[in-house]
Amino acid sequence: MKNSFATIHQAPRVKIPTAIVLFLLVISTFAELRAQGYTNVATQSVTIEVKPISRISVAGNPSQLIIKDEARGNEQSLISDDNTKYSLSTNVGNMKIVASINDRMPAGTKLMIRLASSKAASEGVVDLSNAMTPVNVVTGIGKGIESNQTISYTFAANAEVQDLPATSRTITLTLTN
């Protein structure tokens, strides 16, 4: 006789491997962390601004301008130097360069300046002899850079100026609007 207990059917016991349990646990943890990340938002406000900047520079000083030739009648004697350069950069439109002299030129003499410009309008030869207040030498300068532009100085003396000891003047070039 068969044992009746033996005929009782028990549900088969399914064994879930421990590795799978751990895997599911890790997955669920990552999912939870990720869900938390989507709901945590941090914001920052960044303010940016470009200030107006203008720069002008010169390379060196011109050579001594000494007139040594003989005066002819009433003609002016001239001597020039164009060996110095200027460079500028600006992020402001419609700028200009003005020039001034720190003291008036001696009687019977003149000092003139000319600034070349590849992108703006040069005012040509400008007399600085009495330019204690700045005068325009280059106008209409746009945003950008100009490099190694020629500066020309011309010193002139009337025929009656026979002897003038070497002296100097300071020329100020200003890039402004």
Binding stretches for other proteins (CB under 8 A): 49, 51-58, 60-62, 64-71, 77, 84, 86, 90, 92, 95, 109, 111, 151, 153, 155, 157, 161-177
Compute the C-alpha angle 169/81/59, nearest 5°: 75
What CA–CA distance (Å, rounded) separates 155 from 82?
12
> Which two structure tokens, joined as six digits, stand for 89?
């950069």
> What single letter denotes the amino acid at residue 148?
N
Minimal distance in Å, beta carbon 54 to other proteins? 5
Compute the C-alpha angle 162/166/172, nearest 5°: 120
Minimal distance in Å, beta carbon 47 to other proteins? 11
Of the pair 28, 176, the CB lying nearest other proteins is at: 176
Cβ 135 vs Cβ 112: under 8 Å: no
Of the pair 29, 91, the CB lying nearest other proteins is at: 91
Minimal distance in Å, beta carbon 89 to other proteins? 9
Of the pair 19, 50, the CB lying nearest other proteins is at: 50
Of the pair 106, 119, the CB lying nearest other proteins is at: 106
Minimal distance in Å, beta carbon 24 to other proteins? 56
Of the pair 122, 155, the CB lying nearest other proteins is at: 155
* Residues 6 or more apart in contact with residue 110 via CB below 8 angstroms: 76, 127, 129, 154, 155, 156, 157
Minimal distance in Å, beta carbon 43 to other proteins? 24
3-class secondary structure, 134: coil
Helix (H) or strand (E) holding 92: none
